[in-house]
Structures are given as structure tokens and as C-alpha cells.
Chain A
Amino acid sequence: MKIKVILGSLLILAAIVFGSISFMESNIEYGDFQTAISSNKKIQVKGEWVREMESDFDANSGKFTFYMKDDNGEVLRVIFDGAKPNNFELATSVVAKGKYENDCFHASEILTKCPSKYEGDTEAIKKSL
């Protein structure tokens, strides 16, 4: 019985340690472009798509490039490994997860925050009358 109790406690302890380490490692914090440039870590940057500047999907490399302004107003070129995300035009804000490399922010994932379906409702209801 004793062996089992010890073994059990060890297992639980190991799980807690292992879990917390993995959590710390995988936790992608929010930051701005400045932290991205200085930290060289994968972070997520929240900002806005700068519509006036060029954005383009390069069919050969399969990369979508656009300019993004973070919450501090800094603008950086973002290269996203994939096609233009769904809802990109509608997005009120954009969250890019990635790393800063060679003058650009290389995003592996982009989340678009769209106005909730309910926000535009008054317009929608007027239209459907």
C-alpha cells in the first residue's frame, strides 16, 4: 500500500511540474511590436490593419503581407504564412501571433476580431422591414 501512495504522490507531483513548465513555455503573451523586436520570442500583437498601405497575397510563396499598426501606433510589415484570413475586411482589430525577423513580423496565426453579430443589428433590422 505504501509503495502505491508514494508512487501516486510522485506521479501527481510530476504532473504538476510538467504541466506548469509546459504552460509557461507555451503561453504567448500579448505585446507590442517594440517587445517583439527586442524579445525575439513568439508573442501576440494586437492592432489594426493599415488599409491604406499595400496588402497582398503572394501566390508563389503562399504568403499574405499587410501592414499593421499596434496599439502604440507603431506600424510594421506583417508576413502571414497563409491566405488572407476570413473576415479580414470586416475585422475591427487583428491579433497576429508570431516573431520578429528581418525587419518584418512573421505571423504563424492571425485572429480577426469582428464586430459581434449583434452589434450591427439596428441596421440589419431596418433593412429587413
Chain B
Amino acid sequence: MLGQALVLFAFISSLISGVSYYLNHKRGDIVNLNVARYSYHAAVISVMGFCSFLIYLILTHQFQYTYVWNYSSTDLPTPLLISTFYAGQEGSFSLWALYTAIIGVVLMGYASRRNYESSVMFVWNWILAFLLLMLIVKNPFENIWEAFPKEIIQTGPIPPTVTNFLWLDEVKGIWAQIPQEGRSLNPLLQNYWMVIHPQILFSGFTAMAIPFVFAIAGLLKRDYQGWVRIAKPWSVFAATALGTGIILGGYWAYETLGWGGYWGWDPVENSSLIPWLVCIGLIHTMMSQARSGAFVKTNFVLSILAYMLVLYSTFLTRSGVLGETSVHSFVDPGMYAYWLLLSVIFLFGGTGFYLLLSRMKEMPNVKIEHSIYSREFALFLGAYAICLSALFIVIGTSAPIITQILQGKSSAVDTSFYVKTTLPIGIAVSFLAGFGQLLWWKNSNKNKIIQGLILPLILSVLFTVVMVLIGVTEIQVLLFLFTAGFALFVNLIIGFQIFKGDPKYSGGALSHIGLAFLFLGFVSSEGFDRMETVSLERGKPLQVFSDYQLTYVGMKNVDAERYGFMVDVEHGKEKFTVMPVMHYSNYTQNVLRHPDVKNMYTKDFYIAPMSLEESDGKQESTISLLKGETKNLQGIQVKFIDYDFSNMDKTKMLEGGGFSIGAMLEIRSGEKVEQLMPLMKNDGGQVNYIPVKSTFADIELKINKLQPNREDPTKSRVELSFVLPNGNSQSVKLETLVVEASIKPLINLVWVGTITLLVGFIITIVRRSQETRLKSQV
């Protein structure tokens, strides 16, 4: 009751605030402004209220709430328990609403100082109201008897054994039983990344709304130039937060989830990458506009698009439309949420584009005179290329929807689509990230460009030659390495000069250096990784990648459920132990596998466990025999003659009755010959393998696998397991650990690159916000 009442109150307050802000924007009435501010703060307080209430319910294990029951349990450690707050759809929308409410307070002050409060906060309130409406539709405070009336609600006297109950109507004798334990958090999510990653990602999602809001406010105020300067530091902030969230997700997948890499072009990953890319494009065109007034319309379009794409991504990953074609199983949020998300995309996008079109004529057509050799043009091309890559990724991710509409049945694209389409764009972008830095605004001195080009070009040619010598042959990859190297060298040189002058201005160059590192890291770690699946018998060293020696030395308990498998790795003089972890999860009824990574300067040694095979100590081995083939087992010849299907009655089979299939074998030892027939017996679904013993040779044979081939009987095969004499039985259990080992060269470039990129962003935010403060004081 309390929770949902707070949601409702927040929703209404936000609506009142939005309407008052609008009136204030229209008429400039000071009374309305106070109403708007107070009701916004009321909304913020009640959002904070219901979020804290939900966390309180989780911490006190109130399983009479469906959400609490569904995602938490009493045995979770506190940090993870708190993180269950955003583990589900309802909760993650609550977190989103919470961030929106809080950032709105900061935004209110910021916009107010720049005379933008009423128009900005009017739009901001609509966004908050939409998120709250989502929470009214998908109620995080739903009672468990509302979700499961049949199972939970009972009438009549309460049996004395039941202590966990709640009266719903004591007069009528209606009561509900309350679960004693929750379903807990998916074990895949049970690690510290769950505490950090969603928080940062959602702050990024929230911040992505800010350029949109300023754009709409600019349109409403008919201020087609001023808004850009104010919105710019926020756009960089949004890109920083979302970028950090994305890369943390990538690192999580790499280090903990064992996906093998940091990026898999999965819809969930793409859905945050797409708006991020558009935001990056936007930052570039915003810089142009702030400098020379160009790209007025482009900036409006991109700001509106960026937020629409946030909503569209949310729709893609939350509505269940991708259900059939993605690795993630998406939960259907229900009809209302589906249509609400869809209509909000159209509402926000429609409003944005309607305003833009209706104001288009009155926009100043700034006569911009800049040549092809201007920074503006390079920025435009760069932004165009970045947005194009976003478009391709949107198309790829939406493939199931597109094909559903066009062909009537949905199909997904292969991940190669993304590589194929983004690689050429990456080449263009890295070239521009270098070349653009050599250009001046409006027009550049051609001699100066050539002067600046010489050294970086020589260096990147040398770099590419080295790559060819190392053995890179693919033209596109070489081109990518060349341009990425070019971007790196240009920005290093220019960045150094800028840094000597005034470090505050080095943000741009630093970001581009990061980008170049990132691109080089993509090629080295994904293009030149080596991977092998190997079986490690306990205690027996095995050579991998020709120069690594792996020895599985045994397992140990990490905690009650998790087992670590220690593998000694030797590489030249280097020695270390890695310990991938596996555990059986009751929750998913499956084995969960966590990799281990040995991070080195020049590479990562990545090891993912696959399975642990145990044999019972008898020297049981298997052989596979083709029809007519003979194999020698320590002096005993075993020949596979044919299958015997004579005891396979089809009608009996269909009725579910028993049948058996035999494998006719010929055993020969010295002079003696005999025919044996081990059987596979099926008694109504219960399968048994009946072994046979040789009468004269000390061997027992059992069918392991049947591999009959009906089309070509000569290709029929049988796999037998056999126990030989003198097997040192009883004693040791034989363990074989199967692992997937890989080496990812220079993967550190990816992480270093990302951090450099983000640090560059942060320097830019600081400088830009200082700038707007100075200018607004004037």
C-alpha cells in the first residue's frame, strides 16, 4: 500500500510540476514557478521514499511482496541483497526513476542559472512521469497473493501448523500464506559487478535524456544556438557514464561470466552501445555549433534521436520481442508495459520532430563558410560515420523485427554482420580522428597540414610494415591498423603540444589517443587470439600452444557450493596457478562456469572450465569401431560385425514397450574365437547397457554408444567401453579436467584505451562546464 501510494504521489507531483513549469514557460508567472519547484521536490522525495521502502522490504525479507520473493533470499550477503533492488524489471525502472529524480535536482539549479529552468524541467518532468507510469503499470510493490491468488489465498480456519500467514479479511476468514524464503538472485549475477555495473549504466541512461531535454527546451524557447553550449558538458557526462557502464559490463562478461571475450554483439550489449555512439556523434557536431554556429538542425536531430534510441533499446531488451533469437531469455513484461514503451517512443520522438519541423523555417540559416579542409567538415564526416555505425547496429539488432515484417518469420543476423559493417567505419573514424586534429576551424593552411602529416604518416607506415612482417595479411585489417596508428601518432604529437600549453585543453586529444588504443586492442585481442580446448588428466602435464605447459593439480572448495580447479601453468621461466571455478546451481539447475584470467602486461592467459570427467578407477577405456573393423586390445582382437536389430519390434516400440539392440562382436585371442553380443536394452524409456564377458579372454565389453547409419550401413559405428585385466582398480579416482585455454595478446590496450578515452571526457566536462559558468556570468 505505502509503496504504491508513494509511486502514485510521485507521479501526480511530477505531472503538476510539469504543467506548472509549462505555464511558467508560457507566461513567466512567478507563482507557478514555486508550485513547480515544490511539487518537483515532492516527487523527488516520494521517489526516494518508495525506493528506500523497497530496499527496506528487501533487507527485512518481506516475502509477502512478489518482487522481494522473486529476486532475494535470506542467505544473500548485504551488498548483493541491496543489488536485488534492481535485479528485476520493476526494480530497474525504480532505479532509473530514482536517478532521474535526483539528477533533475542538479539540472534544475544548473538550468535555472542559465535561464532555462522552466522549459528544461517541463520536459524533464514528462520523462520522470513516464518512468513512474511504468511503475504504476508494473508495480514493484505487488503483493504475492495478487500474483498467485490460487496458491496463496485460503479461506476458513488456519491449521495450527501454519504460522506464516496474514489475514486478508478476518471477518470472512480469508487469509494468505506467506513464503518463508525467496527465490534468490540468479547466481550468474551474484558477484560484485552486480553492485557496480547497473548503477553506472543507469546513471548513463538517465543522463542521455539531458541533451534531449535541452534540445526540446531550445526549440520551445526558440533559442537555436544557446542550448548547445549549455547541453554540451552534460552530453559528455552522459557519454562518460554510459561508456563506463558499457565497458564494465564488457569486463564483467570477460572476467566473471566466461563468455570468452568482452564483446559478443549481444542485443543487451548493443542496446547501450547504440545510444552511446549517437551521443559521441552528437558531441562532435555540438562542438562545431558552439564554435561556428553550424549544424543547428543536425544537433536537434541527434539529440532527439539519442534519447529515442535509449527508449528503443529499452523496448528491444525489455519487451520480449527478441525472445526467440537471442541468447538472453527476455521476460515478457506484459501487454501494458509493451505498449507503454512503444507509445512513449512515438510520443517523445513525435513531439521532438514536430517541434523541429514547425520551427525549421525560422531557424537562422547561418551562412557558414568553411572549406573541405576545415575542422567542421572533418567533425561532420566523423559524426556521420559514427552515427552510421550506430544505424548498422540498430538494424542488426532489430533484424528479428525487420525480417518478421518483411518475410513473416523472424531471423537474426550473424555476428559477422557487425564486424563487416563496422570495420570500414572504424577505418574512416580513426583516419578522421587523426586528420581532423590537424585541421583548423573554417579553413586550414595546406602547408601546415602537410607539415603536420609527415611525421605521423612515416610512423604509421613503419607500424604497418611491422604488422605485415608479423604476419597480418588481410587488407582491411591492415588499413585499420594503419589508420588507428595514424590517429595515435597525430594525437600523441598534438596532445603533447597542447598539454605543454594548457593541460585543461588536452581532453580531446587524450580521448582520441584512447580511441586509437582501443581500436588496436580490438585487433590484437580478438583478431590474434589463440584458443584450444584441452583435457587435463590430474597430475599429468600437457603442452598447449606449443609453449605453455598445463597441469591440473586438483580441486578445492571455494565455498559451500563452488569448486576451484587449480591448474599450474608453466611458460618458459614463468610459473603461475590459475583457478577457474564451477558450481552446480540449484537455481538454474545447471553447472555455472567461471573463468580465471592471468593478466600480464602483453597478454592475458584466459582459462575457462568446461567439465570435470571422473572415472571409477577401473581401467575403463573406450574404443570406437566401424563396421567390419578390428582393433587390438592388449593382444585381444575385437571386431565389430554388425548391429542386431532382431529384438527391435516396431509396434512394441511405439507402444513404449521394451526392445534391445545388440552389437555383434567377434573376439579373437590366439587360436580361440567367439562371438559376443553386448546389448542396449530399453524398457519403456529406461535404458540399460548389458555388458558381456569373454569366456576365454579376461575382458568385459559394454556398449557405450550406438551410432548406426541407415543410409550407408558400412559407416555404422559402435563405441565400446571395456575393462581390461590387471586394472589397478579400487585405488585412485581418475579425474580429467576439460578447459578452454586462450591467449589474448595485448588485451590491456582495450582497457587502457577505454580509461584514456574516459579520462579525456572527464577533462572535457570540467573545462566545458567552467566555460559555460564563465560565459553565463558575463
Contact = CB atoms under 8 A, between A and B. Distances in A.
B738 A87 contact: no
Given A54-B705, A114-B329, A42 B414 contact: yes
B738 A29 contact: no
Interface in A69-128: 82-84, 86-90, 95, 97, 103, 111, 113-114, 116-118, 121-122, 124-126, 128
B180 A128 contact: yes
A27 to B, nearest CB: 5
A15 interface: yes
A129 B164 contact: yes
Contacts of B421: 18-19, 22
Interface in B326-341: 326-327, 329, 331-332
Given A19-B391, A86-B592, A27 B403 contact: yes
A15 B386 CA distance: 12
A22 B423 CA distance: 12
B570 interface: no
B455 interface: no
Interface in B293-351: 324-327, 329, 331-332
A26 B421 CA distance: 10
Contacts of A86: 588, 590-593
Contacts of A90: 588-590
Contacts of B63: 128
Contacts of B682: 52
A111 B327 contact: yes
A129 B176 CA distance: 10
Interface size, A (range): 35 or more
Given A4-B372, A19-B392, A128-B183, A56 B331 contact: no
Contacts of B687: 52
A129 B592 CA distance: 27
Contacts of A27: 399, 403, 411-414, 417
B447 interface: no
Contacts of A129: 151-152, 164, 177-180
A4 B179 CA distance: 67
A42 B392 CA distance: 21
Contact of B411 (A44, A82, A89, A103): A44
Nearest to A77: B707
Contacts of A29: 403, 411
A59 interface: yes
Contacts of B178: 129
Nearest to B531: A62
Contact of A19 (B177, B395, B411, B588): B395
27 contacts: A4-B372, A11-B384, A19-B392, A19-B421, A23-B399, A25-B420, A26-B416, A26-B420, A28-B414, A30-B411, A52-B685, A52-B687, A57-B610, A57-B738, A83-B740, A86-B591, A86-B592, A87-B588, A90-B590, A113-B324, A116-B329, A122-B150, A125-B179, A126-B151, A128-B181, A129-B164, A129-B178
Given A23-B399, A125-B69, 7 more contacts: A26-B414, A26-B416, A30-B410, A44-B411, A86-B591, A103-B715, A111-B326
Interface of B: 63, 69, 144, 147-148, 150-152, 164, 177-183, 324-327, 329, 331-332, 372, 377, 384, 388, 391-392, 395-396, 399, 403, 409-414, 416-417, 420-421, 424, 532-535, 588-593, 610-611, 613, 682, 685, 687, 705-707, 709, 711, 715, 736, 738, 740
